[in-house]
């Protein structure tokens, strides 16, 4: 077998370890381990359980050996913006507070008293999400200034897990850009901005791009696992890795569909024009220093919460089936309303919204699910209109990647709503992007272009077109 790499892809709802290698110009994947991920209340805040996540990572590495796999390298990707701080002895000073925690309420507006929204966007090109790292650090500075004074190291979630594996401290570029503290043009920490905000700039580490290597596993882990691996940096922001899997196509809009729906296009330059600011698009750093011009849409988080509210009685596939039985139910919500970011009860929040807007109130799982899927499709259409307005061009194809690509109803709704061709897949786009980045570092793949050709040849995509003919809309 050719050189094999191990991707650790941890999203907001699940994590997976996937081994991958190239054989006969096709990418072969083997899911080695999968586990749930969620936030939990710890004291006054919602946090990630990093100890449990690292235990799952080690369980997955042990499973490699049990399954006869001996990956040459390992690479981690996770969700964006969240971080931990270490003290001078490299001990954790903070919990991994989750971006859905309410500690950043009102912080964005406070930061704007130090730097204008326009200047912040002009320099970073990053969308204004109230949970961006810049606002989390501002919240921490207000609530626990002593912690920021003691902090010697800032590590984002994948950076910290890499540190536990390798003992090396570094910040990876694609994820660092999501902090809204990296200058889009220098691709370095914006030291003037940090000074202006009174944030200790010395705790930030060197920013390394995808395909970098942090060296090998710590000796005690080599002993524990029975084999060593090179700890490599893919695009450690999960969406950054997912977009690597989108075929090289100038007329394609991607929707990275998971907990969030990240809808956008790939560019060679940041677009920080006023219209992009007004529409709240972001320019997150991508592989090969490309840019991911995209916006966050609330995404399948909503159906994840609905599923939880129904005590996990129904699978995601069953929600799709139930929604298909409610084709005459048409109530919709504005999925991008902050009220859906972390409501007590998502079902009740959706029902209240429908009541407030004098729409039929969803009464059963099928109507609730149909409302979520219909509402997401409307939000995607709005974002696509905005992208086409900024680019002054029509895009022909939408490529839905990630777990949401399995939602056939939503894929059809996107085709019917946008009248564009919808390609669905690959489902494991993030893990695939993570693996191919490592294989590029290992010289198994020449570069991004070849990687995308291999991905294109390796995974079947489902195709959807609008059932409703424009001229004959019923
Ligand atoms: N069989 C299925 N049918 C329909 N939808 C599905 C199916 N399986 C998964 N999904 C959808 O995929 C979503 C999970 O996608 P994915 O695994 O990409 O998310 P994640 O990686 O856990 O989270 P993140 O977006 O943070 O990376 C679920 O919320 C669900 O809505
Ligand atoms: C909090 C971020 O917006 C989120 O992580 C998003 O960037 C993402 O990548 C979800 O998978
Ligand atoms: Mg994911």
For 351-383, write each residue's pLDDT tens digit: 999 999 999 999 999 999 999 999 999 999 999
Range of the domain at 75: 5-237
Q: Do 300 and 233 fall within a single domain?
A: no
Same-domain check for residues 210 and 297 = no
226 labeled binding residue:
no
Whether 254 and 230 share a structural domain: no
Q: Distance, CA 81 to ligand 2 centroid (Å)? A: 8
| pLDDT of 251 | 82
Mean pLDDT of all residues in the chain? Answer: 96
Instruction: Give the chain's domain count.
Output: 2
378 membership: H or E segment, kind and range: helix 365-391
Residue 456 CA to ligand 1 centre (angstroms): 21
**Local confidence band at 397 (pLDDT 50, 70, 90 cut-offs):** very high
User: Which positions are annotated as active-site residues?
Assistant: 238
Span 279-288, pLDDT tens digits: 999 999 999 9
Report the percentage of the chain scoring pLDDT > 70: 98
pLDDT at 473 over 70: no
Q: Is residue 14 part of a domain?
A: yes
175 lines ligand 2 (CB under 6 A): no
Do 46 and 137 belong to one domain? yes
- Are 451 and 225 a contacting pair, CB within 8 Å? no
Question: What stretches of 63-220 adopt beta strand conformation (E)?
Answer: 73-78, 83-86, 153-156, 171-172, 207-208, 213-216
The CATH number for 323's domain is 3.30.420.40
Of residues 360 and 470, more confidently modeled: 360
259 CB less than 6 Å from ligand 1?
A: yes
> Is 443 a member of any domain?
no
User: What's the pLDDT score for residue 248?
Assistant: 72
Q: What is the pLDDT of residue 368?
A: 98
Q: H helices then E strands: how many in the chain?
A: 18, 19
Name the residue with the closest Cα to ligand 2, atom 7: 80
The CB density around residue 386, as the number of other CB atoms within 10 Å, is 18
Residue 448 lies in a domain: no
291 inside domain? yes
The predicted pLDDT at position 468 comes to: 58
pLDDT of residue 116: 96
Question: Which ligand 2 atom sits nearest the alpha carbon of residue 81?
Answer: 1
Same domain (yes/no): 59, 102: yes
ipTM score of complex = 0.97
Residue 472: what pLDDT? 41
Are 78 and 132 in a shared domain?
yes
- Please compute the mean of the pLDDT values over residues 20-34 and round it to a whole number: 97
Any ligand 1 atom below 6 A from CB of 258: yes
How many angstroms does the Cα of residue 260 sit away from the middle of ligand 2?
A: 6
């Amino acid at each position: 077998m050719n050189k094999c790499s191990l991707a650790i892809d941890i999203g907001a709802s699940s994590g997976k370890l996937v081994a991958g290698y190239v054989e006969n110009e096709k990418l072969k994947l083997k899911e080695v381990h999968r586990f749930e991920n969620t936030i939990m209340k710890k004291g006054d805040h919602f946090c990630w359980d990093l100890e449990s996540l690292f235990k799952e990572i080690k369980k997955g590495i042990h499973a490699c050996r049990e399954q006869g796999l001996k990956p040459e390298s390992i690479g981690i990707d996770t969700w964006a913006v969240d971080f931990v701080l270490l003290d001078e002895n490299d001990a954790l000073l903070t919990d991994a507070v989750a971006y859905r925690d309410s500690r950043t309420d009102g912080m964005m507006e406070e930061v704007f008293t130090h730097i204008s929204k326009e200047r912040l966007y002009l320099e970073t090109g990053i969308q204004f999400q109230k949970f961006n790292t810049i606002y989390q650090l501002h919240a921490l500075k207000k609530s626990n200034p002593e912690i920021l004074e003691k902090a010697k190291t800032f590590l984002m979630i994948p950076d910290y897990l890499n540190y536990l594996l390798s003992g090396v401290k570094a910040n990876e570029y694609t994820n660092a850009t999501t902090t809204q503290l990296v200058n889009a043009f220098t691709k370095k920490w914006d030291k003037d901005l940090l000074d202006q905000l009174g944030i200790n700039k010395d705790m930030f580490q060197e920013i390394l791009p995808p395909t970098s290597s942090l060296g090998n596993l710590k000796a005690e882990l080599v002993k524990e696992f029975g084999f060593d691996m090179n700890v490599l940096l893919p695009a450690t922001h999960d969406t950054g890795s997912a977009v690597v899997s989108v075929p090289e196509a100038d007329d394609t809009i991607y929707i990275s569909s998971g907990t969030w729906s990240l809808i956008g296009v790939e560019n060679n330059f940041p677009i920080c024009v006023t219209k992009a600011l007004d529409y709240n698009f972001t320019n997150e750093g991508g592989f090969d220093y490309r840019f991911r011009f995209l916006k966050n849409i609330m995404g399948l988080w909503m159906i994840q919460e609905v599923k939880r509210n129904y005590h996990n009685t129904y699978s995601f596939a069953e929600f799709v089936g139930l929604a298909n039985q409610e084709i005459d139910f048409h109530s919709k919500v504005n999925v991008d309303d902050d009220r859906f970011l972390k409501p007590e009860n998502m079902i009740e929040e959706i029902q209240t919204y429908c009541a407030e807007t004098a729409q039929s109130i969803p009464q059963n799982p099928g109507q609730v699910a149909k409302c979520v899927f219909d509402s997401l499709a409307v939000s995607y259409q709005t974002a696509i209109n905005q992208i086409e307005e900024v680019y002054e061009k029509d895009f022909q194809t939408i490529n839905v990647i990630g777990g949401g690509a399995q939602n056939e109803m939503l894929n059809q709704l996107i085709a019917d709503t946008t009248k564009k061709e919808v390609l669905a897949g690959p489902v494991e786009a993030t893990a695939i992007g993570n693996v191919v980045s490592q294989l590029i570092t290992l010289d198994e793949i020449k570069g991004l272009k070849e990687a995308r050709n291999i991905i294109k040849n390796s995974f079947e995509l489902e195709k959807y077109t609008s059932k409703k003919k424009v001229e004959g809309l019923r």
